[in-house]
Amino acid sequence: MKIEQIYTGCLSQGAYYIESKGEVAIIDPLREVQSYINKAKLDDAKIKYIFETHFHADFVSGHVTLAKQTGASIIFGPNAETSFDAIIAKDKQVFKLGDITITVLHTPGHTMESSIFLLKDENNKDHAIFSGDTLFLGDVGRPDLAQKIGKITETDLAGFLYNSLRTKIMPLADDVIVFPGHGAGSSCGKNLSKETVDTLGNQKVTNYALRADMSKDEFIKEVTDGLLPPPQYFPLNVKMNKDGYDDFQNVLERSAQALSPKDFEAVVNETDAIVLDVRHQNDFSRGHIPRSIFIGLDGNFAPSVGALIADVKQSILLVTPEGSEEETITRLSRVGFDQTLGYLKGGFEAWKKADKEYDTVSSISATVFKGVKESGGVRLFDVREEGEYLSEHVLDANNTPLSYLNNHLTEFPDTKTFYVHCAGGYRSMIAASILKSRGIHNLIDVKGGFKAIKEAKIIVSDYVCPSTL
């Protein structure tokens, strides 16, 4: 028996490859599926099953394409409805894979079709659960992301989740291994661990949601408290996962169009495409195509695109580091953005060599900013999330979280210079690009963000542990 976790950091997502006696099961695959096919070929094995823990909201799964290319059966838990052929399993239905078995355990709560998969080894001993978004390490799945079903509310779903945890998961042995669907950084939970594998026994001790003495009312309150609105692209990804989507290779072939600066400019002028610049924030600051949006590949790229651009049907033109074009298209497709029209051949340097107009972002070091601030009358905008801001922030700074920047546009001065920062410089450059694309140019970015600000000994608020807020 082989179990391999295939973890994708940009999505904070775990897919799983399981092999026994020449038969393979894939759990929650990514959209680009060739790597799973290659693994099976190396093992001289056949992909038999594709298990989906639920209809994912934060990424487009590879189940449809993988089934088409391998003949494997797609398996969902009870209550799932799809527009393609799939086995809708019954609760506790068993699927044999070589010498092992995988049992579907229906665990509604995150969504109504959510299920976990219990793997029993060659000796019929409970070995591991693949818990999807039902149980994370340190947390559980949000109960507010499911598509609306009748009059079922997030409070109802939280109650279902409480029952699922206590009837299907907590009775399992402490030595059962937990393989979750996500780790820290995912928007599918509130307080996920950075670890990606644990034992159930340790989770029973450390995960607040598995406290034996917790009542259902207490659980519902904790799970639903402090939930931020989900990113707008989530329902669109759910729809693609339910109804199907174009094969990734088709998306790649039509998107990877190299455009000269002249042709690139023409497409910009003739369409409603967004110019998306994915280089490092320092490169973007030094020069970029006017009105382009910066979301760098080095950061939390795909979820940020989903949250900030939102509409998966939005046309996109790419400015990338040379050689990163395919990677960028791939990572966009993982969250359903399939309408890339092409990329700037030769990158931004080709744009400059063609004597095309370009813009810059003014930046200063935290040390220089300290002097500016001490002179008085400075407007500073902190684009970190509210929890980060509340835990510690520069005195008199305004909190305008990047995720909701459009809701704060009227707060920025029309003409007077103002300053922006985040934690380390990535998000503030995204914010600067969005503001400049909306005609707000009187801004200066504080390089290095809050980390550099503290190192420069700028006065900040007293630290408050976020868990006590």
pLDDT at 464 (0 to 100)? 59
Residue 124 is given by DSSP the state S
User: What is the reported pLDDT for 468?
Assistant: 44
Rounded CA separation 7/181 (Å) = 9
Type of residue numbered 163 = N
For the chain, how long is the longest CA-to-CA vector? 73
Query: Do 237 and 59 touch, CB atoms closer than 8 A?
Result: yes
Correct CATH for 246-353 of 3.60.20.10, 3.40.250.10, 3.10.100.10, 2.60.120.260: 3.40.250.10
CA 454 – CA 243 distance, rounded (Å): 49
Residue 440: how many other CB atoms lie within 10 Å: 15
> To the nearest 10°, the Cα dihedral for 332, 334, 340, 344?
40
| Backbone phi, psi, residue 387, to 5° | -60, -40
* 363-468 and 246-353 share a CATH fold: yes
For the domain with range 2-235, which CATH number is right: 3.60.110.10, 1.10.460.10, 3.40.50.720, 3.60.15.10?
Answer: 3.60.15.10
Residue appearing with tokens 């900013």? 369
Please report, in tens digits, the pLDDT of each residue of the chain (469 residues total).
Answer: 999 999 998 899 999 999 999 999 999 999 999 999 999 999 999 999 999 999 999 999 999 999 999 999 999 999 999 999 999 999 999 999 999 999 999 999 999 999 999 999 999 999 999 999 999 999 999 998 876 666 889 999 999 999 999 999 999 999 999 999 998 877 777 778 889 999 999 999 999 999 999 999 999 999 999 888 888 899 999 999 999 999 999 999 999 999 999 999 999 999 999 999 999 999 999 999 999 999 999 888 999 999 899 899 999 999 999 999 999 999 999 999 999 999 999 999 999 999 999 999 999 999 999 999 999 889 999 999 998 999 999 999 999 999 889 889 999 998 999 999 999 999 999 999 999 999 999 999 999 999 999 999 999 997 655 544 4
Tokens at residue 12, please?
Answer: 């904070």
**75 near 46, Cβ under 8 Å?**
no
User: What's the token pair of residue 236?
Assistant: 């669109």
DSSP result, 174-191: TT-EEEESB-TT-TTSSS
Distance CA(433)–CA(426), nearest Å, equals 11
Alpha helices in 294-405 (DSSP H): 301-309, 325-333, 347-353, 366-374, 386-391
230 closest CA partner among 142, 114, 166:
142
Domain 363-468, what fold? Oxidized Rhodanese; domain 1 (3.40.250)
Rounded distance, CA 112 to CA 141, Å? Answer: 12
**Predicted local distance difference test score (pLDDT) of residue 306:** 92
Tell me if 72 sits within 8 A of 63, measured CB to CB. Answer: no
Closest listed residue to residue 281, CA positions, set 259, 304, 264:
304
Contacts of residue 413, defined as CB under 8 A and 6 or more positions apart, other chains included, come to: 379, 442
Query: Per-domain residue ranges for the chain?
Result: 2-235, 246-353, 363-468
Neighbouring-strand partners of residue 95: 102
Q: Closest by alpha carbon to 16, among 97, 105, 108?
A: 97
Q: Taking a C-beta distance cutoff of 8 angstroms, is the pair 179, 130 a contact?
A: yes
Q: How far apart are CA 293 and CA 274, in angstroms?
A: 7
Q: Give the DSSP letter string of 383-417.
A: -S-HHHHHHS-BTT-EE--GGGGGGGGGGS-SSS-
